[in-house]
Amino acid sequence: MKALHDIKPAAANAPPLDVERIRRDFPILRQRVHGKPLVYLDNAATAQKPQAVIDAIQRYYSKENSNIHRGVHTLSEKATEAYEGARVKVKEFLGASSTRETVFVRGSTEGINLVAQSYGRAFLKEGDEIVISAMEHHSNIVPWQMLCGQVGARLRVVPINHDGEMLIDEYARLLGPRTRFVSVAHVSNALGTVNPVKQIVEMAHAHKAPVLVDGAQAAPHVKVDVQELGCDFYVFSGHKLYGPTGIGVLYGRERLLEAMPPYQGGGDMISLVTFEKTHYNNLPYKFEAGTPHIAGGIGLGAAIDYINGVGIDSVAAHEQELLAYATRSLSAIDRLRIIGTAREKASVLSFVLDGVHAHDIGTILDREGVAIRAGHHCAMPVMQRFGVPATARASFACYNNREEVDTLARAIGKVSEVFK
Ligand code: C6P
């Protein structure tokens, strides 16, 4: 069975990005590191923030700081309006049908843990099976292992081929009457593979299993429409989408969120409390106990405004072009092997250099002003699959350009020189 890719390279008619203008929106990019202009290629770890996001956070703390949903005073009303306004932006960004489906969380990790602990503990039992893929980030492995330990369920893993693509036939074989949940990455952080999420969801639904999509590496790079994908849950992190750290989103189908028990208890998630009984608040507040990251939510709203202004299709087209250019350029380097050669990729280029540890590559590149990530990328099973201890990883964002890829290639050349 062939993988059917629903996310095509961005619309061919998307207007080109004015990358030089975009770069001016990111003050951090103006600095030098070790005397060299900063070339920031660690965007999969976290993206830089445009001035508009920094301003929104500063405006909140200097003009609106107040707790939300509680006060009757002007500042509290302003803060509530800004925070709930951000939720509307999130809802539209994801194509959710209502803001009741958009829960603010700390990030992708917390979103997955919430579903594992709330949905999983309520609806899974001994003998049930949870299906994930072999390319998952630890945050889409460990919460399910924990759940398996708690309820006696079993984790099944769909293998990947040598290009880093999920084996759809193997997935079909793993699905069965015991399958009670499927959780897969939209885009792999270690390989860059874009998974055929719509097909994965349809196949799981044929077995009545709900699907969570880990969109941490997808939301900043491809257009996401949760209704079009058909998934039941979708998570992403604000800080990878040009927003602040400590804020992210869990999208959940309303019917499922309604049926799920709260994840944490506390203020704001209740409508009535007595010592005998507590009535929970409406969605999405039932899942948002305690004072939230208000500045984070507002900052994420500003980041969504920013990316909408630039145009996600244009970002996707630019990054596809840059990834192809970097792939050609790095492939020409002696002793360099790219890890992750799927047909459908987004924004991530992982590689190894024969005889050189990835950390040495990262350290030498840093002396050249080039920031990449070196290590297992919180995806140790991927490293095991490819038989490498670690990879060096360059990852792109809307503000990166071809000159930076050239600097990266020259800096890798220096690494080769040192380790001749
Ligand atoms: N990957 C990377 O350098 P948090 O930490 O909750 O914002 O995101 C977790 C996460 C979940 N899924 C995927 C696919 C991810 O890539 C990440 C974060 C970073 O690759 C940090 S390890």
| CATH architecture for residues 9-37+311-415 | Alpha-Beta Complex (3.90)
- Report the pLDDT value the prediction gives residue 420, as an integer from 0 to 100: 86
The third-level CATH classification (topology) of the domain covering 53-308 is Aspartate Aminotransferase; domain 2 (3.40.640)
Counting from 1 in the atom list of ligand 1, the atom nearest the Cα of 373 is 3
Mutate to test the pocket of ligand 1, among 132, 345, 378, 382 (most ligand atoms within 8 A of CB): 378
- Report the pLDDT value the prediction gives residue 160, as an integer from 0 to 100: 98
Mutate to test the pocket of ligand 1, among 41, 46, 138, 189 (most ligand atoms within 8 A of CB): 189
- Report the pLDDT value the prediction gives residue 36, as an integer from 0 to 100: 98
Tell me if the pTM is above 0.75.
yes
The number of CA neighbours under 13 Å toward the Cβ of 207 is: 23
CB 42 within 8 A of CB 350: no
* Residues with pLDDT less than 50, the chain: 7, 9-10
- Report the pLDDT value the prediction gives residue 327, as an integer from 0 to 100: 98
- Report the pLDDT value the prediction gives residue 12, as an integer from 0 to 100: 65
pLDDT in tens, 322-331: 999 999 999 9
Ligand 1 midpoint to CA 184 (Å)? 13
Ligand 1 midpoint to CA 31 (Å)? 26
- Report the pLDDT value the prediction gives residue 45, as an integer from 0 to 100: 98
- Report the pLDDT value the prediction gives residue 7, as an integer from 0 to 100: 44
pLDDT in tens, 330-369: 999 999 999 999 999 999 999 999 999 999 999 999 999 9
Place of tokens 């050349």: 413
- Start-end of CATH 3.40.640.10 domains in the chain: 53-308
Ligand 1 midpoint to CA 9 (Å)? 23
Residues within 6 Å of ligand 1 by CB: 44-45, 107-109, 137, 139-140, 185, 189, 214, 216-217, 237, 373, 377-378
- Report the pLDDT value the prediction gives residue 70, as an integer from 0 to 100: 81
- Start-end of CATH 3.90.1150.10 domains in the chain: 9-37+311-415
Residue nearest to atom 2 of ligand 1 (CA): 45
